[in-house]
Amino acid sequence: MEGNLEPTVLLEGHEFTVWSVVLTQDGRHVVSGGQDATVRLWDIQTGKLVHTFIGHEGPVYGLVATSDGRRIFSVSDRDPAVRVWDVEAGTALNTLTPNSLHTNSIAITPDDCYVITGGDDGKDRVWDIGHSVMARIREQGAGVFSIAVSPNGAYLVSGSKRALGRDPTGILWLRDLDTGALLHTLHGHKGNVTRLVFTPESRFMISGGQDGDVHIWDVDSGTLLNTLSGHTSAILLLWVSHDGRYLVTGANDCTIRVWQMHGGVLLRTLDHTDNVHSLAMSSDGRQLVAGTLEGELFVWDFPLGSPWIDKIAPRTEEEKVELAAFRMMQLRKIIGRYETLPMNRLATLLRFSSVEELEDWLLELADEFPHVRIDGANIIIRK
């Protein structure tokens, strides 16, 4: 199945390329890092810029947020510090130094106790967040381009950065996170290992490369189980659904691909925008965010019924209020732009879980929007 993704929100503010992007676990905020050396916090419902964090000395290549969304950790090229930011206050909290001068990646443990960084000097640095000290350093033997921690907190995997004049084969180092013991050294990609992720139960590890391939590995044995091919450029996104059944991959070849983990069957190919340099998914799989060469960020909502979406995730009262405001704002934009629109498309744009839920909502607003009426599978807007 193929189709096009149409953005629902545009975020503008960065002066140049957006190299890194992440969504907070509650789905309320997008955090972006740019060539302009800034970290920016956005409200995903309104599209408004909440804070701009200034302090880095080079392009921001890596971002993570704590599980409660209150702190952001960022790393930058030409800046030997991990910078810690307070989301609510919009201020700098701390710096962790000394780090690699050319840091490419950062990860955080599930318990929010440690962050791990990797850079061109070939070292993984593990930082104790509570005590603001470096807990340990591990030498990998080659530059580190990507890092991931398993959901059970037991494993750390690092992916190599290709060095000019050296063997282009990508290397993955899988370690015991607590002891640092090297469990497996894996070879497979050509060029940089650009993205890494574990499945929710931590049984499998997935790597994406500069070569556009996606490899699925068995953690215990280090065996390569499957290779998913189809992307034609570097992998920017690897995301696994909560139930472990679906894998979403993205690349700067303008496509998002959805795979069934069992058997590696390609289910959907979706087109996004040009000149994308960073991609991220919300934790519930409902939204995709892309950062571009021009400094813009686009937010897409996946179509209703997408099987990888976590439909169980509850919304807080605050999130419900924000969602209601977002829907009213979006509906007014749609009324000014369209004369007719399919109901299932409108439900996706307004973030409803079903067309029936949208119908009930529109009926409640009939007096406020008398020029909007439901006509079968479409809405009709009288101008």
- Is 161 found in the same domain as 35? yes
The winner for highest mean pLDDT among 125-129, 309-313, 326-330 is 125-129
Structural domain includes residue 26: yes
Structural domain includes residue 312: no
- Is 131 found in the same domain as 103? yes
Distance CA 383, CA 381 (A): 6
Structural domain includes residue 126: yes
Distance CA 156, CA 378 (A): 49
Distance CA 361, CA 377 (A): 15
Structural domain includes residue 306: no
Which of 288, 218, 200 lies closest to 22 in space, CA to CA?
288
CATH number of the domain at 369, please. Answer: 1.10.10
Where does residue 84 rank: exposed (0-12), middle (13-18), buried (19+ CB within 10 A)? buried
Q: What's the pLDDT tens digit per position in 183-195?
A: 999 998 999 999 9
Q: What's the pLDDT tens digit per position in 253-275?
A: 999 999 999 999 999 998 887 88
In this predicted structure, the answer to whether residue 86 has a pLDDT above a threshold of 50 is yes
Average pLDDT along the chain: 90
Q: What is the 3-state secondary structure (H, E, C) of 82-134?
A: EEEEECCCCEEEEEECCCCCEEEEEEECCCCCEEEEEECCCEEEEEECCCCEE
Q: What's the pLDDT tens digit per position in 6-20?
A: 788 899 999 999 999
What one-character DSSP code corresponds to residue 347? H
8 Å CB contact between 200 and 244:
yes
CATH number of the domain at 295, please. Answer: 2.130.10.10
- Is 212 found in the same domain as 325? no
Task: Specify the pLDDT at position 1.
Answer: 46
- Is 325 found in the same domain as 189? no
Task: Specify the pLDDT at position 310.
Answer: 77
Total number of domains constituting the chain = 2
Q: What's the pLDDT tens digit per position in 269-299?
A: 988 878 899 999 999 999 999 999 999 999 9
- Is 357 found in the same domain as 284? no
The encoded tokens of residue 125 equal 């640095």
In this predicted structure, the answer to whether residue 349 has a pLDDT above a threshold of 80 is no
Q: Give strand ranges (E) for 120-264.
A: 123-128, 133-139, 144-149, 155-160, 169-176, 182-190, 193-198, 204-209, 214-218, 224-228, 235-240, 246-251, 255-260
CB atoms < 10 A from the CB of 377, how many? 10
Task: Specify the pLDDT at position 273.
Answer: 79
The residue behind tokens 């391939």 is 213
- Is 158 found in the same domain as 53? yes
Q: What is the pTM of this model?
A: 0.81
The encoded tokens of residue 122 equal 């070939």
Structural domain includes residue 283: yes
- Is 327 found in the same domain as 186? no
Structural domain includes residue 311: no
Task: Specify the pLDDT at position 355.
Answer: 85
Choose the weakest-confidence range: 45-59, 197-211, 368-382: 368-382
Supply the range of the domain harboring residue 323. Answer: 317-381
